[in-house]
Structure 1
Amino acid sequence: MSDPTTPDPAPEAPGPTTVPAGTATVPAGTAVEPTAVAGEPTVESAAEPLVTVVIVNWNGAHLLPACLDGLAKQVTGFAFETWVVDNASADSSRALLAERYPWVQVVPSETNLGFAGGNNLALRAVTTPYAALLNNDAVPEPDWLANLLAPFDAPGGDRLGAVTGKVVFLPRFLRLRLSTPTFTPGPHDPRQLGVRVSSVTVDGRETLREVLWEKLTFGAEGGPDAPFFWTRGDGELCVPVPEGGPVTLGFTWAGQAAKPVTLSWDGGSVTLDAGAEPSTVEFTVPGDVARVDVINNVGGIVLRDGYGADRGYQQIDTGQFTRPEEVFTACGNGMAIRTRLGHELGWFDDDFFLYYEDTDLSWRIRARGYTIRYIPDAVLRHVHSASSVEWSPLFVFHTDRNRLLMLTKDASARIAVAAVARYPLTTTSIALRTLRQAWTARSLPPLRPTWLRLTVIASYLRLLPAMLARRRAISRTASTRRHELENWLVRR
């Protein structure tokens, strides 16, 4: 990605088949009354801008060049506008936009409104027939926007509320399998653990936060400042690597005792030692080992216990999602929605700030009787969690709280009440287990996880009256009943 402190020559605005938004700046809080659109223009026939691409940015000067350069290369048969909402950035984002991207319309906010509120600041002023959302850490393929809007003109497009595309992780990956003997930590932790990994380097560069661990580890531990991962005894990990040539990988790890660890790849393997104390090992993988693309999102699902999930998450992209199909939810990174419908629904829920806001909006789109379609040819490459760290308190607070808020608004009473009641019970169980472990180890118990869950409960209860009012409003305008929508929910 370009270094914003050393500006490259300003890229040209989108080519002759697109129309840039100009240099005007929309003041924060400006609202444009939505206009009813009778007989929306088709994708092929629009002379005026057909879609507004909205990007929310917070301290993303290092991310914006790749994103906006990708938009400048879009090949479309229609005009579009590009708006960047700057969420009170403290870096050089606004100077970068003014100097290198004068064709981008800037929507400034003097406070950080999050993903939901930041998008809403722009979306409530959009008057083009469609709005498309793009993360500042995503890079669109040249035909992304054209392919994203095409389904609205296809047969059955009149009842299509939103379209979502394929999101793959930005780098390409080396696919590895780890295998090692396991142990059980104790009576209060029944996990079968392999080794504790605290660092992964590629040619000397730290990549621990960029490795895809879903099929190997139990999730991040240790907090955002010093994260580590306990592995299972056997599983797959994907390490981001350069496109060609041999790479030297380094692992810093430890076990409960000395043990062998085998790492294998297509055509080779290596067995290394891990001890009771952290140590670093290195090995080189040949340059001809295949690199793979890994899926971030191909539409969304909601599980029957109320958890949202990315469909296809961390699967190797082998062409298994090449068919357009209806999905339950759209991803907020790379979705297009009818503007008129968005205005009717009120866009995102401002109270969500970030996470689950796209699942909530998708649920409300479906309650109005509209469908959501996945299009595999609308491709984005995404830097996963570039703006927030998955294991950070920010992430945990908003994903936990917003899941409960979403279910309170959108799900049947049976599912919503079960999920909300389960949360304080789980919190109590975690607190008791933590106290038992601390007593056994004769140490002070870690209080932060329990305290974080208590703040989730307090924030949920504060917002509960508003969510119940919104639930009633959704019921009054719904054309599809909640129990019908829940036929889409997936069992674990």
Structure 2
Amino acid sequence: MLAVTEVSSTVVVVTWRGAGQITACLDALAAQDRPHRTLVVDNASDDGTARLLAEHPSKPRVVRLRRNAGYAGAMSTALSLVDTPLMAWLNDDAAPGPHWLRTLEDALGSAAAASARLNRPDGTPQCVGVRLTADGYGADTLDAPAFGFCGGAALLRTDVLREIGGVPGHFFCYYEDTDTAWRLRLAGHELVTVPDAQVTHRHGVSTKPGSRQFHLWNERNRLLTLLRCAPAAVAARELARFAAITALLPLRRKVPGAANFRVPLRIRVLAEVLLRLPATLRDRRAISRRSTVPRGQVWRNWTPG
């Protein structure tokens, strides 16, 4: 159990045009029963968020970026600024209960990361972490233990996060948590699921799940995560499958209405993945050098048989 007399955690809140929710988030952090520091990374908000941050009585440290770097980019920037042993990730549309941070710290033990439970505003559970599907998607899960943590509310060891290569800031948004959890497991670290550490989450306030941009980031970053972390055969299979489905969609009479089945979006996903392929393969080699657990073993342990 961590000592309660010292500040062990910096809670990092990423916001973009968060005027509608940032005050509730900071109010909830101010009510925590465990001492901590609060660092807010403002992704160049232009809706009055900066004023609300400046006026909040908790006086959080604020870093304002010149451009919107997304959740992943902002967390990557924050990692270079955190000087506490632990770093908590928190969405600006999340309001943690008063025991959230204490519960995570006390449950962490020797693990590298701890995943909280996110609840919808009506109190129903959203997830306690992330699972891997058979085709390599990261999906919300209510089952514990989970493969990975949900980046909306989690606690990580700062030094370990740096050792495994930090946060993939170029992802912009989505899969930065799944990719990070995957690299932690490849490096032999344990992750714990802590359902008693609860957060109310207004999911998708900023990013609009189901939108074209959501699907672009989601599909691109899934493929990038697989190329970085999965067994080579799995990554190649899923990239080829995505390309094949894209090529065949114009020939199908009935096509699902979701944006990720629109051919122009899928072509853009493939173009962005191919453009980033050299850097991604360099990342894969660096991840391999830091790994102590075979990629195939992690895949078999955490995907459906």
The partner residue of 1:125 within 64, 68, 81 is 81
In structure 1, the residue corresponding to 2:12 is in which secondary structure? strand
Q: Which stretches in structure 1 are left out of the alignment for 5+ residues? A: 1-41, 173-292, 313-320, 439-445
Matched residue type, 2:163: E
* Aligned residue in 2 for 1:176: none
Tell me what 1:300 maps to: 130
Give the corresponding residue for 2:103: 147
Query: How many Å apart are 1:432 and its aligned residue?
Result: 1.9
The reply to whether residue 457 of structure 1 matches residue 270 of structure 2 is: yes
Question: Which residue number corresponds to residue 37 of structure 2?
Answer: 81
Answer yes or no: is 1:43 the counterpart of 2:2.
Answer: yes
Check if 1:397 corresponds to 2:216: yes
**Unmatched segments (≥5 aa) in structure 2:** none
Of 155, 178, 187, 1:359 maps to: 178
SS in 2 for 1:343: helix
Q: For the structure 1 residues 141 and 347, does the alpha-carbon distance in structure 2 shift closer, same or farther, using more than 3 Å as the test?
A: same
The structure 2 residue matched to 1:165, chosen from 116, 125, 130, is 116
Confirm or deny: 8 A CA contact 1:53 1:80 kept in the other structure: yes
* Residue number in structure 1 paired with 2:14: 56
Partner SS for 2:250: helix
Q: Which residue does the alignment assign to 1:470?
A: 283
Partner of 1:415: 234
Instruction: Name the amino acid aligned to 1:361.
Output: T
2:60 to 76, 97, 104: 104
State the shift of 1:46 in Å: 4.2
What do residues 69-118 of structure 1 show as CA deviations (whole Å, max 9, x unaligned)?
Answer: 11111112xx3100110000011001111112452000110100001001
Whether contact under 8 Å (1:345, 1:364) holds in the other structure is yes
**What SS class does the counterpart of residue 161 from structure 2 fall into?**
helix
Measured on the aligned residues, the alpha-carbon RMSD in Å equals 1.9
Q: Distance in 2 between matches of 1:341 and 1:379?
A: 24
With structure 2 as the length reference, what TM-score do the two structures score?
Answer: 0.94
Shift of 1:437: 6.3
Q: 1:165 is paired with a residue of what secondary structure?
A: strand
Deviations 1:179-230 (A, max 9, x none): xxxxxxxxxxxxxxxxxxxxxxxxxxxxxxxxxxxxxxxxxxxxxxxxxxxx
**CA distance in structure 2 between the aligned counterparts of 1:111 and 1:346, rounded to whole angstroms:** 23
1:82–1:104 contact (8 Å) kept in structure 2:
yes
Contact residue 164 and residue 187 of structure 2 kept, 8 A: no
Kindly indicate whether the alpha-carbon contact (under 8 Å) linking 1:326 and 1:371 is maintained by their aligned counterparts in 2: no
CA drift at 1:431 = 2.0
Distance of 2:28 and 2:206 partners within structure 1: 19
- Structure with greater proportional strand content: 1
CA contact (8 A) 2:11 2:37 kept: yes
Query: How far apart are the structure 2 equivalents of 1:145 and 1:138?
Result: 13
Matched residues, number: 302
Partner of 1:274: none
What letter corresponds to residue 97 of structure 2 in structure 1?
E
Which runs of structure 2 are paired with 1:31-430 in the superposition (5 Å)? Answer: 43-47=2-6, 49-76=7-34, 79-101=35-57, 103-152=59-108, 157-158=109-110, 160-170=111-121, 172=122, 293-312=123-142, 325-430=144-249
Matched, 1:485 2:304: no
Q: Any runs of at least 4 consecutive aligned residues in structure 1 with deviations exceeding 6 A, and if so which?
A: none
Is the Cα contact below 8 Å between 2:26 and 2:58 reproduced in 1? no
- For 1:404 and 1:100, locate their aligned partners in 2 and report how far apart those are by CA, in whole Å: 40
Shift of 1:489: 2.9
Q: Check 1:142–1:484 CA distance in 2 against 1; reply closer, same or farther (3 A cut).
A: same
| Partner Cα separation in structure 1 for residue 135 and residue 210 of structure 2 | 21
Percentage identity across aligned positions?
38
Query: 1:67 touches 1:137 (CA, 8 Å); kept in 2?
Result: yes
In the TM superposition, residue 136 of structure 1 has moved relative to its aligned partner by 0.3
| Matching residue's letter, 2:128 | V
C-alpha deviation, 1:367, in angstroms: 1.0
Query: What TM-score, normalized by structure 1, do the two folds share?
Result: 0.59
Q: 8 Å contact 1:52–1:131 — kept in the other structure?
A: yes
- Secondary structure at the aligned position of 1:326 is classed as coil
Counterparts in 2 of 1:129 and 1:46: CA distance versus 1, 3 Å: farther
- In structure 2, distance between residues paired with 1:307 and 1:102: 38
* Native 8 Å contact 1:304 1:489 kept in 2: no
Structure 2 Cα separation of the partners of residues 345 and 92 of structure 1? 36
Are the aligned partners of 1:306 and 1:407 in contact in 2 as well (CA < 8 Å)?
yes
Do the aligned partners of 2:30 and 2:58 also contact (CA within 8 Å) in 1?
Answer: no
- Cα separation, 2, equivalents of 1:469 and 1:437: 39
- AA partner of residue 64 (structure 1): I
Larger Rg: 1
1:358-400 per-position Cα deviation (integer Å, ceiling 9, x unaligned): 0000000111111110011100010011111111111010100
Distance 1:425 1:487 in 2: 25
Q: Secondary structure at the match of 2:112?
A: strand
Q: Can you list the C-alpha shifts for 1:29-60, whole angstroms capped at 9, x where unaligned?
A: xxxxxxxxxxxxx522543x210000000000
Q: Aligned with 2:178: secondary structure?
A: helix
Q: Report the alpha carbon displacement of residue 308 of structure 1 after superposing the two structures with TM.
A: 1.1
Alignment partners' CA distance in 2, 1:405 and 1:479: 21
Taking the aligned partners of 2:262 and 2:133, their CA distance within structure 1 comes to 24
